[in-house]
Chain A
Amino acid sequence: MLDQPTNTPTGPGAAESPLIASLRAAVAAAPQDIPLRLHLAELLLGAGSADAAVAEAALVLSQAPGDAQARALMARAMGAPVPTEQAPPAAPAEQQAGGFDWEAAAREVGDAVPPRFAAEPDVKEAPLTVDGSGAPGEAPAYDVDAPDAPGAVRLADVGGMQEVKDRLEAAFLAPMRNPELRKLYGKSLRGGLLLYGPPGCGKTFIARAVAGELGANFINVSINDVLDMWIGNSERNMHEVFETARRQAPCVIFLDELDALGAKRSRTQHNGMRNTVNQLLTELDGVNDVNDGVFVLAATNVPWDVDIALRRPGRLDRTLLVLPPDGPAREAILRYHLRERPIESVDLAKLVKATDGFSGADLAHVCESAAESALLDSARTGTVRMINTKDLLGAAKAIRPSTEPWFAAARNVAMFANEGGMYDELLAYLKKARKL
């Protein structure tokens, strides 16, 4: 439907100039051409067809939510100087004196442009970078990300998920940060932490945040690196990863998709894979404290497919369940995904309640679907409207949490394969959530 610009409104009784008409035809022929559509919107605004200009700008925003020109044009067409959320929180005094008075403008359009959210929180959370895609780790193989590198994240950047943070603090971070206490209690630094949980819930992001929290370097070993390891040089490659980490200590090695890297050896016919697991075990064991300052984090959606030897004491012996985002985390993620979309009076509290059990990726999908619905509605009626709570709730109702199949499998594992209490945390959650 997006490719049907003939449905776009022209405004009641608007007599179009030949230029606008020909531009319309051009836009119809090239609906993805954003500059062309913006040009048409400019002309429409100039010709006094504000509604039609808003419609065009809205279509541009649906394709490129961050397009500054489109946002400015939309604001102008709607009678506002600029969207309020674009205004800097406190403009320098000299700027205000000589330039545009943002505060006055905001006051002026305050009644015309509805607030973005029905209720603004008292204290705004730090900007959330958990985008739900679960794939911020795009560092190339063996590349070490420095802790002060631009874009380095901390646990404070993770919205909500207080329980996970508390457990990380207790199980991992506190002993790392306090060497004296560690020594006093004889706590070893050996071993690693295995993050597991449904897909799309931010395990990779949390791993990065842990590295940021420790002020450690970060090596991300992804599935592609693993694939390379299977070809002939698996032992040497794995050794090289750990050697690099030891040289760069303190360093966090993050083994993403551990089910691929540490697949059950009894289950695989492939020698390369078996060698990789063997070498990983050797490296995790280390000798003579060579692994001091090397912290191993791993993540998987299917911990039951990970070789049991990897979970023995001294290896990945601590596990942490990363569940779908809780209320505050969902709110932060929704804010993130709505930050550049035209919304009005969105009741976030209601939306957060309606999206219980949704993963970050599901929440992104909800926002996307709601935007699509509002856009189609605008195109159909010829009246541009913002995304509202109804769109979002409708989208949330139509989407089933993608975590459900995972929990169905996890329930079987937690109930029938909970040897050594590895899934106690999951079991407790399932009981609490009445999913057993």
Chain B
Amino acid sequence: MTTALHPLVEQAMALMDLKRIDEARALLARRLAEDPTDIVAWLRLARCHEEVRDYQEVLNATNEVLALNPEEYGAYLRRTYAFRRLGRPDESLAAAHEMLRLEPESWQSHVGLSEALGAWQPRWPEALEAAATGVRLGPDQIAAHYALWKAALMNGRVDLQRQAVAESLRIDPHDAWALDQRAKYAEVDAARPPLTGAGAKLPAAAEAFADALAAAPQAPQADRQRKHLDVAVFRMLRGTRWLALLCVVIAALAARVFPTGSDPTALPGPLATRLYGLALMGAVWGFGAWRRYRGLRAGVRMSLWSLVRRVGWARLVVGQSVWCTLIAVVVVLVPWSERTAPQVLFWVALVPTLLTMWFERAAMRS
């Protein structure tokens, strides 16, 4: 039985760090052909199999380890997860208990137990408890926080989930999983308030997805993250229509398009009032869109233009915003002598845009 670290095994471990699993497996196979009693090589091979989700092979490799040393902790660790993935919960729990017996103070033992207990819904509170113990014993281990997050998810503890993600980002600000989760929470936050503040949180959601994409550009979840980022950006674009409609209303009021006020017949509206309306419209766009746009990071700004280029509906949204704003500018600047033309312009801006917005909401609800 060999337990010393052979150079080939060390090379394989380095390759595994680089996610070159096939090459690592080949090296380990070479090493095991030389010395089939190398326990470390068998354990690393089991880890390789786990990486490529070949759980039956994990069991085969750990069987070899246990034949050489029935008290090998690493073998039970691997088997706990392999049995769980293979849908053999009793054996998974037995392996986890072996881990606890061998190393009761190891955070991995408790995290493994939490994983095994997750197979039975009535025991989910126990799983949460085990994960919390794992975090207590290994506060700087992202894997422990991940286990807590998972157990919290099963138990519906959103607060603990968020806490686990925040702790993981404290340990590694570039952790791909934690960044992905943070982005999801930001998206939820942006969607939650029905009217107030929903739009204000969209840039944060977009930036959270951008962070996640920057941290793991090749990750399997990158496509999904791009889609969510596009959704956040699209919602920001949709928000510009409200600004444009507000401009139309301001223009209508400033230009006295409708017979309201103390002197309803006086047309055209006073130049000063109309210029004031124009300034107000500028402020609406400046603070409502331009300032926020400038505050976005470059990648999110690029996503915005990319979306406009790729998606026809996004172009329609931008087109409607521009159309409404242009009409507002025309209404407020032209010294109308009678009301028909500006009223037609007002409704031409307002009605199709509102109808489109209603249609969008209906489509999203269905």
* A complexed with B: yes
CA distance A260 to B302 in the complex (A): 31
Whether the Cβ atoms of A273 and B10 lie closer than 8 Å is no
* Nearest CB of A to B310, in Å: 9
A410: chain B residues at CB < 8 Å are: 217
Q: Mark A157-180, 1 if CB is under 8 A from B, else 0.
A: 000000000000000000000000
* Nearest CB of B to A171, in Å: 24
A266: chain B residues at CB < 8 Å are: 172, 174
B13: chain A residues at CB < 8 Å are: 270
Q: B352 within 8 Å of A by Cβ?
A: no
Q: B253 within 8 Å of A by Cβ?
A: no
Other-chain contact of A412, B18, B20, B217, B298 (Cβ < 8 Å): B217
CA distance A304 to B218 in the complex (A): 10
CA distance A412 to B211 in the complex (A): 10
Other-chain contact of A270, B14, B172, B297, B303 (Cβ < 8 Å): B14
Residue of A nearest to B226 (CB): A412
CA distance A270 to B226 in the complex (A): 32
Whether the Cβ atoms of A270 and B17 lie closer than 8 Å is yes
Tally of contact residues, B, Cβ under 8 A: 28
Whether the Cβ atoms of A415 and B302 lie closer than 8 Å is yes
* Nearest CB of A to B209, in Å: 9
Q: A112 within 8 Å of B by Cβ?
A: no
A231: chain B residues at CB < 8 Å are: 7, 10-11
Within 190-236 of B, Cβ neighbours of A (below 8 Å) are at 210-211, 213-214, 217-218, 222-223, 226
Q: A259 within 8 Å of B by Cβ?
A: yes
* Nearest CB of A to B23, in Å: 8
CA distance A128 to B333 in the complex (A): 67
Within 289-330 of A, Cβ neighbours of B (below 8 Å) are at 302, 304
Q: A418 within 8 Å of B by Cβ?
A: yes
Whether the Cβ atoms of B217 and A409 lie closer than 8 Å is yes
Given A227-B11, A272-B10, A273-B17, also A413-B222 (CB < 8 A): no
CA distance A266 to B20 in the complex (A): 18
Given A230-B11, A231-B7, also A413-B18 (CB < 8 A): no
CA distance A21 to B138 in the complex (A): 77
Q: A269 within 8 Å of B by Cβ?
A: yes
A259: chain B residues at CB < 8 Å are: 18
CA distance A409 to B219 in the complex (A): 8
Other-chain contact of A416, B18, B20, B299, B309 (Cβ < 8 Å): B299
* Nearest CB of B to A83, in Å: 41
CA distance A410 to B299 in the complex (A): 13
Q: Mark A99-130, 1 if CB is under 8 A from B, else 0.
A: 00000000000000000000000000000000
Whether the Cβ atoms of B214 and A412 lie closer than 8 Å is yes
* Nearest CB of A to B204, in Å: 15
* Nearest CB of A to B300, in Å: 8
Residue of B nearest to A406 (CB): B218
Residue of A nearest to B217 (CB): A412
CA distance A97 to B13 in the complex (A): 68
* Nearest CB of A to B237, in Å: 16
CA distance A418 to B214 in the complex (A): 9
A436: chain B residues at CB < 8 Å are: 302, 305-306, 309
CA distance A227 to B174 in the complex (A): 26
CA distance A412 to B219 in the complex (A): 11
* Nearest CB of B to A301, in Å: 10
Whether the Cβ atoms of B218 and A302 lie closer than 8 Å is yes
Q: B15 within 8 Å of A by Cβ?
A: yes
Within 1-45 of B, Cβ neighbours of A (below 8 Å) are at 7, 10-11, 13-15, 17-18, 20
CA distance A408 to B298 in the complex (A): 18
B7: chain A residues at CB < 8 Å are: 231-232
Q: Mark A397-436, 1 if CB is under 8 A from B, else 0.
A: 0000000010011101101111000000000000000101
Given A412-B226, A434-B309, A436-B306, also A304-B10 (CB < 8 A): no
Given A412-B213, A412-B214, also A227-B299 (CB < 8 A): no
Given A408-B222, A412-B226, also A230-B14 (CB < 8 A): yes
Residue of B nearest to A272 (CB): B14
* Nearest CB of B to A257, in Å: 9
* Nearest CB of B to A356, in Å: 20
Q: A288 within 8 Å of B by Cβ?
A: no
Within 366-425 of A, Cβ neighbours of B (below 8 Å) are at 405, 408-410, 412-413, 415-418
Whether the Cβ atoms of B309 and A304 lie closer than 8 Å is no
Q: A268 within 8 Å of B by Cβ?
A: yes
Q: A206 within 8 Å of B by Cβ?
A: no
CA distance A259 to B213 in the complex (A): 19
CA distance A412 to B228 in the complex (A): 13
CA distance A231 to B211 in the complex (A): 35
* Nearest CB of B to A200, in Å: 17
Given A259-B18, A260-B18, A408-B222, also A415-B10 (CB < 8 A): no
* Nearest CB of B to A262, in Å: 11
Other-chain contact of B303, A232, A415, A418 (Cβ < 8 Å): A415
Q: A263 within 8 Å of B by Cβ?
A: yes
A230: chain B residues at CB < 8 Å are: 10-11, 14
B10: chain A residues at CB < 8 Å are: 230-231, 272
Residue of B nearest to A269 (CB): B17
Residue of A nearest to B15 (CB): A227
A416: chain B residues at CB < 8 Å are: 210-211, 213-214, 217, 297, 299
A-B contact pairs, 5 of them (CB 8 A): A227-B14, A260-B20, A409-B217, A413-B214, A436-B309
6 tightest Cβ-Cβ pairs between the two chains A and B: A417-B214, A412-B217, A416-B299, A415-B299, A416-B214, A409-B218
Q: A416-B210, A418-B299, A436-B302 are in contact. List 8 more A-B contacts (CB 8 A).
A: A232-B7, A259-B18, A263-B17, A268-B14, A269-B17, A302-B218, A405-B218, A412-B217
